[in-house]
Structure formats: C-alpha cells, structure tokens
Amino acid sequence: MQLYLPIADIPVNIFLILAMGAAVGFVSGMFGIGGGFLMTPLLIFIGIAPAVAVASVASHIAASSFSGAISYWRRRAIDPALALVLLSGGTIGTALGVWTFTLLRSLGQLDLMIALSYVVLLTTVGGLMFWEGLRSMLRIRRGIAVSLRRSGSHGWVHGLPFKMRFKRSKIYLSVIPVIAVGLIIGFIGAIMGIGGGFILVPIMIYFLRVPTSTVIGTSMVLTLVTMVFATMLHAATNHLVDAVLALILMTGGVTGAQFGARAGQKIRGEHLRLLLGLLILAVGIRFAVELVIRPDDLFTIREVGGAA
C-alpha cells in the first residue's frame, strides 16, 4: 500500500516502513539500544532526505526509549539524580546540535557531515565492540573468567571537583564528566539522528563506573528527554519532522522491540556484543563506501526551504 509522506515528500510503501521499524525494533530490543544508528541510515538508503530522516527518527527513538524507561522505572533501575545531571548537559548539547544542523544545512554540507559522522563514529565504536566481544569470547573459550567492571582502579575522572553522591547507583562522582557526557551525546544525537545509547552505555560503564543495574535505565532517560527535545527543536526550526513516517516507524519499532528483548535473553553477552559490533561496523562501512565511490550524479538541486 502506497502512502505519501507529507514532509519527506515521497510516496513509500507503508509495509516496507513498518517492516523496517519492526526489524530495527527487534535489534534494539535484543541489544537494549534505541536503534537510531540503524533506522536513520535505512531511511536514507530508501531515498528519504538525510535531514528528514534524522529529524523523524528522533521521535521514533523517543517512543521506544519511553516504553523502555517505564519498565526500568518500575524495576527501580533508574538513578534519578544521575539522570538529572546527565540531562542538564544533554539538553544544552541537543540545542547546540540542532543549531549546528541548521547551519550545516544552509551551507549545503549537512548530508556530508551526517555521512562522515556515521563513518567515524560507527567504525570506531563498532570496531572496538567487535574486538572486545571477540577477545572475551576467546577468553571464555580458554576458560578464563572475565569481569566487565574492573573495580578498584581509580582514573583521573575520580580526581575532579564538584563531587556528588548518586545514591541509587551507589557512586560518588564529580558532576563535570557527567555533564560533559550528556552534552556530547545530546549534540551528536541531534545531528546524527541517534539516541546514542550504544555509545552512552559503554562510556557510563567504563568511564563513569556506573553499575550495570542502573546504567541502561538511566541512559534511556537521557535518550528519551534529548530525543523529545530534539523532535521539538527540529520541528520548530527546520520543519523536517515527518509525523506520518515517525508514527509508522514507532508502531513497528515498539512491537519489534518486545520480540527482540526475548531473543536477546537467549544469547550470551559476549556473542551479543560481537554481533552488535559487527552490525555497527557494517553500517559505518556502508557510509564510507558511499562517500568514496563516484556518485551517479554530481549535481543536486535543493529548493530553498524545501525538504530535499
């Protein structure tokens, strides 16, 4: 069934979008991530303008992280104080990101920056994750137990001032790195159309030493608020949020996520990380190839103030 997307300005097959939403939702449920880094590229690959894809996926991630956040809240797996401090940086980062997005768009370099950010971020993170997953898998095969959290070792992060006690996470930590992390995630999230969960969770575990019991729930709160904020800012400044597209994605996404979560519980942790790393790496490489090969048409037209 063909459906005309009002903002993206192209007709799409409603079942294709629904299936994409469900597939990404499945993956996101399986790995406990928002899935924006998969959804945005998929939309770009089917011909939706990168700017519209980024802006619309923000609301899709808001939906999936809200349903996730509710269930983590019920399980008391969210640290409200930590979430608030993260958010103070996150909202500023999002506003800065949307502002940069608008600026790049007027310069005609937005598509390039989106593609470049994907290449750099995804190949780095994907590569690291894949490597880490591979190593721990090999170690387990050799029969050596691994603990993800090397407790006891204090890095320079813990020497910073303005320390604060985060009760539910049972950590005593300076607010500076927390705000900085929120800021960075908010910024790249608004530009790239990702929630940033797949970067945020490792950073919080390895860098801020947040315990695994609260890390996913708390990161979901940050994702939720920054993405709601990004949706509103993108809609108000660039008029690029396609609500019809977003609604279809969300519906597919939240459904797929439930099945993904069940599938995820059956797979071992290191296998999950290995798979996720491979997936992220693949998307990054896909963008890199796109940039390097000669485009079919060297010229593009954009209506000033239009979507494409």
Partner 1 sequence: MSRRFFAFTIGSAVALGATVFSLPARAERLIVSVSNHRVTVTPNYSGEELVLFGSVEKDSSTPASRNNYDLVVTVSGPRADMVTRRKERRFGIWINTDYREFLQVPTYLALFSNRPFDAIASPDVERRQQLGLNNVLLTQRVGTDYADVVPNDAFRSAFVRLRSERGLYREETSAVTFLTPTLFRTGIPLPAEVPIGTYTVEIKLFSDGALITHTETAFDIVKVGFEQFVAATARQDGLFYGAFTAFMALMTGWMASIVFRKD
Residues contributing to the site for partner 1 (CB under 8 A): 2-7, 9-11, 59-60, 62-71, 74-75, 108-109, 111-112, 116, 227-228, 231-237, 239, 241, 243-244, 246-247, 250-251, 254-255, 257-258, 291-295, 297-306
Least separation in angstroms between residue 148's CB and partner 1 is: 26
**Closer of 40 and 65 to partner 1 (Cβ):** 65
Rounded to whole angstroms, the maximal C-alpha distance in the chain is: 61
Which residues have C-beta within 8 Å of that of residue 87, sequence separation ≥ 6? 182, 221, 222, 225, 226
**Closer of 161 and 305 to partner 1 (Cβ):** 305
HSE of 218, CA atoms in CB hemisphere, 13 A = 29
**Closer of 105 and 168 to partner 1 (Cβ):** 105
Other Cβ atoms within 10 Å of 13 Cβ, number = 12
Distance between the two ends of the chain, CA-based, in angstroms? Answer: 23
In total, the chain counts a number of residues equal to 308
Least separation in angstroms between residue 104's CB and partner 1 is: 11
**Closer of 200 and 246 to partner 1 (Cβ):** 246
**Closer of 169 and 231 to partner 1 (Cβ):** 231
Least separation in angstroms between residue 44's CB and partner 1 is: 15
What is the DSSP pairing of strand 11-13 with strand 163-166? unpaired
List, as one string, the DSSP characters of 238-277.
T----HHHHHHHHHHHHHHHHHHHHHHTTS-HHHHHHHHH
Least separation in angstroms between residue 284's CB and partner 1 is: 14
Least separation in angstroms between residue 270's CB and partner 1 is: 25
